[in-house]
Structure 1
Amino acid sequence: MLNVQIDEQEVKQLYLEKLEEKLKEVDKSLVFWDRNELIRRTCMSWNFIQERFFFDPRFPKYRVGKKWLFPAEETMQFLLLWLAEQPKN
């Protein structure tokens, strides 16, 4: 007779690691974000983004025709820096 035992905690850990790898791959597949992706990634409204950091000269942005594009990696780095600069209330 064959007896199989599965460590559920180990299976869960392996699943989460693989999921994180796939999410990182998806993130890296985006070269740039558009306005809607920026809104989605930051969980901020367009008005809030414009009021808080859009016009910061360090914020990487490009206007192509009528569309704003943001280099994904540079934008993420800027957003982390910007957030760290915000007062902690």
Structure 2
Amino acid sequence: MLIALIELQVDQSKLKQLYEEAIHKHLDELDSEKVYWDSNELKRRTCMSWNTIQNTFFFEEDFPKVKLGGKWYFPAEETKRFLNEWLKQRR
């Protein structure tokens, strides 16, 4: 009977790096699929409550938003650009 021993060595830091890269790539793909955000997505993306959003930037003239029926929608790419600029101006 022939017995083979196999020893496997794994570089944990490299494995973690590959795992994180795969997660970021997947999240970027998911992110690019969304055309509009709703208020829940906006709260999640900004880590702010609805009251904080309304008290800080919601009513700024150049904040991109559309109300359809009783629900607010925010164009994803425009909103990201606005939020990044808005935050830079607060530094």
Q: 2: CA distance between counterparts of 1:15 and 1:79?
A: 29
Q: 1: CA distance between counterparts of 2:7 and 2:52?
A: 58
Unaligned runs of 5+ in 2: none
Q: 1: CA distance between counterparts of 2:28 and 2:56?
A: 27
3-state SS of paired residue (1:59): coil
Which residue in 2 is equivalent to 1:59? 63
Q: Give yes or no for the alignment of 1:23 onto 2:27.
A: yes
Q: TM-score, normalised by structure 2?
A: 0.87
Q: Give yes or no for the alignment of 1:84 onto 2:88.
A: yes
Query: Identity percentage over the alignment?
Result: 52
Aligned residues: 87
Q: Give yes or no for the alignment of 1:8 onto 2:7.
A: no
Amino acid at match of 1:36: N
Alignment equivalent of 1:72, drawn from 76, 80, 84: 76
Which residue in 1 is equivalent to 2:43? 39
Amino acid at match of 1:3: E
Deviations 1:18-58 (A, max 9, x none): 01101111111211111111111111111211121111111
Q: Give yes or no for the alignment of 1:48 onto 2:55.
A: no
3-state SS of paired residue (2:9): coil
Q: TM-score, normalised by structure 1?
A: 0.89
Amino acid at match of 1:25: E
